[in-house]
A and B are shown apart, each in its own frame.
Chain A
Amino acid sequence: MDTKTDSSTRSRFGALGTSALRPDGIPKVQGRFAFSSDAWADNMLWGATLRSPHPYARILSIDTSPALKINGVSAVVTADDVPGKLTYGLIASDQPVFARDFVRYAGEPVAAVAADHPETARRAIAAIKVEYEVLAPLVDAEEAINPSLEKIHPDGNVIRRQRIVRGDQNLVGDIVVEGTYEIGMQDQAFLGLEAALALPDDDGRGVELFVATQWLHEDQKQIAACLGLDTDRVRLTLGGVGGAFGGREDISLQVHCCLLALVTGRPIKMQYGREESFFGHIHRHPATIFMRHHADRDGKLRRVESRLVLDGGAYASTSSAVLINAVTHVQGPYQCENATVDGYAVRTNNPPCGAMRGFGVVQACFAHESQMDKLAEACGVSPVDIRLKNAMRTGDKLITGQVVESVAPVERCIRETAALPLPAPLPESPDPLEIPGGSGLTARKSNVRRGVGWGVSIKNLMYSEGFDDYATARCRLADGVATLQFATAEVGQGFVVLAQQIARTVLGVDTVLLEPITTAIGSAGSTSASRQTWMSGGAVDGACRLVRERLFEWVAKKNGLDPIRLAVEGTDVVDTMGTLRIAVEEATRGMTFDETFEHHHRPTEELDENGQGNCHVAFAFVAHRAVVDVDPELGLVKVVQIATAQDVGKVLNPLAAIGQIEGGIAQGLGLAVMEEIVLRDGKMRNPSFTDYLLPTALDAPEVIATMIEEPEPQAPLGAKGIGEPPCISVTPAIVAAIRAATGRQLPRTPVRPQDIVFGP
């Protein structure tokens, strides 16, 4: 009956499976959509943050009095003014609201001010006198493992170590290939800078915060603890979010902004500039990964060995989860029975690192895919054949012992990617914009060499290791109009349109209103880990189904029928065994049905000391083929085309899905050829969009994508999360293509011109 309902409503525009248009689209193109940086209140002050210039130093004294003397400055706060807990953090509470004794990274907050104008605030910050005793920073992640080294934080220098020991530990393959790979520090570089507006309650014992974040309830909990307030006295509303990609999962300005509001009794607006944004949020972990692959002579993978070191920077953030993702995905989407893996996430005086799209798996994938190409070469087979030979299937065991119960169409991903057409060769006289170097007019066509490379990946969906990251949604149906409420952070991905599609499909309504996204309803969990379509989608679906049950009961009662006979068809309630057909709008006139639903995924386990355990919920797979043009003498690269086939479960909105795929590919391209935060002695050298390069329209390759639809039985809507896979294996595919074009080894990403020109 459900199938019948689904197929008859599928074509109705706005329902699931259609390219329904997002409800915030028109306001966004007209400039009317309110981002958190657009929030404004009467009588508001501007907040600003003083940050440490040193990666590691002891604070000897802080003198705020010169700042307070400046006309227009209302308050200066430091660690001494924090009324509650002095630290926060997503997993471990190890990061100070303001540094008190030590600063542990360049850019760490030391004080904040409130003033009548952003420029006054900037001057006030400059006037605060901080006396530091500068210490030698610990900036080498490998060094941080050394237990004899002085601890730079009371929690120690190793944030987490996790081994995986499985199968034969002494197996040596007929073919053995190894390598050490490096991944640079990438920035999320969301366009909408961190911004918030805090409104203090009249009684001074509560605060309301409009903020761009990925997880309202987690922010609420951490803010309340630091302010020493009951959680319900901190109320959050999602301000419009200008992208996130993991960079808004941690606290940035939330506590500072609320604290200034409570201290001054006035609304506070805080907004980072681009440079401060680089200091104010976490980044993708740089990593060094050694891998040794053992295989039979024909290329059948028998054992992987790996040692991974992830630089977590000064504070833990989500480093332990990132590490677990890296170590548990290091085999890639391939069958492998034996593994010896040792992974570290360490603390240094570098900028803190945490979640970014594909967290942990991006790093592991660069290593295992580089290895698969080495293995292919050593076995004398093609990159495609080596991957097909080892492709994982549903029912296979991971190196953690977990059985992959998810649909696992790895072979299809590879074959369907391979079937996509290759791009045309460069024309006889190409436009300079079409060759490496672009408008710089530097490369000559005769020097340009083309290369093709492959990458395939596996990515876990949702949170792991026993964490119950449930999602809540409420549905109200009255007079033919559905109203949905959830705390799911809409960060650009389009959950708002998906939620409407679900309600239209389940309830047969056209009009679906959305309540503001606030903490007034239960948590939706974080918009991360490719989890909201599954989790919040499941919650909205569940709430709508509960409402539909109530509706059927009501219609059945009125018509003397058994509710089990009823179904929604298009916009009608129909009796599947009779003739009754009544419009949902008609059936709900004067009635209100109101239900709330929590969606939980199946439980997961923590890993044991040997890295064994069912720690992940589900998996998604993808293959990428990259075609690049390279000028080997100048070290310039143009990514010409990316072909991809992605395991999506089910396409719920084709337009939104291709947007995720193309967007993820661009970020993976950035990590392959241009994006890196450059550090020297713990200090960022390029915290600006002039020096941290992002892909532009001219860097965007042609993307041809196939979406593989094999509905996932575990997933409430049959759909897997699609946000992360696009950015994971595209990076090693591009680097492999550059290797193919140049013959260079390129063990490091991003590939820099000097790596191509002078590298081994």
Chain B
Amino acid sequence: MSNEFYALQVNGIRHEVRDAWVGESLLYVLRERLGLPGTKGACEQGECGSCTVIMDGEAVCSCLVMAATAVEADITTVEGLSSDGEPTDVQRSFVNAGGVQCGFCTPGLIVAVHHLLDRNPSPSDLEIKEAISGNICRCTGYGRIFEAVRQARDARTTDTSGGE
């Protein structure tokens, strides 16, 4: 088994995973084998959303995905949302609006909100709540997170409305 490997496509880069136990979750492999600890684990049951990544355009809980089954997928983690190292609009709005306290749920929320706004650039407040209801935050009570998403939404809407 020592020469066996599988490859994952993460943030546009091909990573070979060698000598891994086949039972490892995508979350574990990202964090412990690929040097991408930005994705967090907090429940191992797909309940809290801290481990959210984008897999082939869908937001998934990476704790529930066996890494070895993700070989064909295009995976984006919180580290891959920005190509130049600068914070994205959503990342900035989370900081500016006070949506970050302990920050443990934050990477999963950031990925979930990117996923939301990329599919629906002008979600209603209720759509925002529903979209992030799979991401548990224990610190903020969500108020400043709603505000952050609204700010990001409004900025995107303003940016694009001029061209319409």
Please report A residues at the B interface, Cβ cutoff 8 Å.
19, 21-22, 24-26, 28-35, 37-38, 40, 117-119, 188-193, 240-243, 245, 273-274, 431, 433-434, 439, 491-494, 655-656, 658-659, 661-667, 688-690, 694-698, 700, 703
Contacts and interface: CB of A to CB of B under 8 A. Distances in A.
Contacts of A493: 101
A30 B92 CA distance: 10
Interface of B: 21, 23, 28, 31-32, 36-45, 47-48, 50, 77-79, 82, 87, 90-92, 94-98, 100-107, 110, 126, 128-130, 132-146
A206 to B, nearest CB: 27
B45 A697 contact: no
A655 B103 contact: no
Contacts of B94: 25, 29
Contact of B104 (A21, A242, A667, A697): A242
A30 B142 contact: no
Contacts of A30: 38, 78-79, 82, 87, 91
Given A243-B104, A663-B140, A697 B38 contact: no
B48 A689 contact: yes
A433 B130 contact: yes
A115 to B, nearest CB: 12
Given A492-B101, A688-B45, A31 B141 contact: no
B143 A658 contact: yes
Given A28-B95, A29-B103, A191-B40, 15 more contacts: A30-B79, A31-B78, A37-B40, A118-B28, A190-B138, A191-B102, A243-B138, A243-B139, A658-B98, A662-B144, A663-B139, A663-B140, A666-B140, A667-B141, A695-B142
B23 to A, nearest CB: 7
Contacts of A29: 78, 87, 90-92, 94-95, 100, 103, 106-107, 110
Contacts of B128: 697
Contact of B143 (A188, A245, A662, A698): A662
In the A-B complex, the 7 residue pairs with the smallest Cβ-Cβ separation, listed nearest first, are A31-B38, A492-B102, A242-B104, A28-B103, A666-B141, A662-B141, A25-B95
Contact of A434 (B48, B87, B106, B126): B126
A703 B141 contact: yes
A370 B109 CA distance: 37
A40 B28 CA distance: 13
A25 B141 contact: no
Given A434-B126, A492-B102, A700 B143 contact: yes
A31 B79 contact: yes
Nearest to A191: B104
Contacts of A21: 95-96
B100 A28 contact: yes
A433 B129 contact: yes
A21 B95 CA distance: 7
24 contacts: A22-B95, A22-B100, A25-B103, A26-B95, A29-B78, A29-B90, A29-B94, A29-B107, A31-B110, A119-B23, A191-B42, A192-B42, A192-B104, A242-B40, A242-B102, A492-B101, A661-B141, A662-B141, A666-B141, A694-B136, A694-B138, A696-B134, A697-B146, A700-B142
A40 B45 CA distance: 24
Given A192-B40, A274-B45, A659 B98 contact: yes
B106 A662 contact: no
Nearest to B95: A25
Given A26-B95, A30-B91, A193-B42, A697 B78 contact: no
Max count, chain A CB within 10 A of own CB: residue among B28, B129, B140, B143: B143
Contacts of A659: 98, 101, 139-141, 143-144
A696 B135 CA distance: 7
A689 B50 contact: no
Q: Give the interface centre of B90, B98, B135 by most chain A CB atoms within 10 Å.
A: B98
B152 to A, nearest CB: 11
Contact of B103 (A242, A274, A434, A689): A242
B47 A117 contact: no
The residue in A40, A240, A492 that gathers the most chain B C-beta atoms within 10 A of its C-beta is A492
B126 A433 contact: yes
Contact of B98 (A192, A655, A698): A655
A439 B141 CA distance: 20
Given A22-B100, A655-B144, A119 B21 contact: yes
Contacts of A37: 37, 40-41
Contact of B130 (A40, A439, A656): A439
B25 to A, nearest CB: 11
A99 to B, nearest CB: 26
Contacts of A664: 141
Given A245-B138, A655-B98, A696 B104 contact: no
Contacts of B129: 433, 697-698, 700
Contacts of A695: 141-142
Contacts of A19: 98
B102 A31 contact: no
A666 B105 CA distance: 15
A266 B37 CA distance: 22
Contacts of B48: 191, 689
A696 B136 contact: yes
Contacts of B77: 31
B143 A191 contact: no
A662 B141 CA distance: 5
Contact of A31 (B32, B98, B107, B136): B107
Contacts of B32: 40
Contacts of B100: 22, 24-25, 28-29
B104 A663 contact: no
A432 B142 CA distance: 20
A74 B110 CA distance: 39
A493 B45 CA distance: 27
Contacts of A188: 138
B53 to A, nearest CB: 11
B102 A491 contact: yes
B105 A191 contact: yes
Nearest to B111: A31
A274 B102 contact: no
A135 to B, nearest CB: 32
A21 B87 CA distance: 15
A666 B144 CA distance: 12
A556 to B, nearest CB: 40
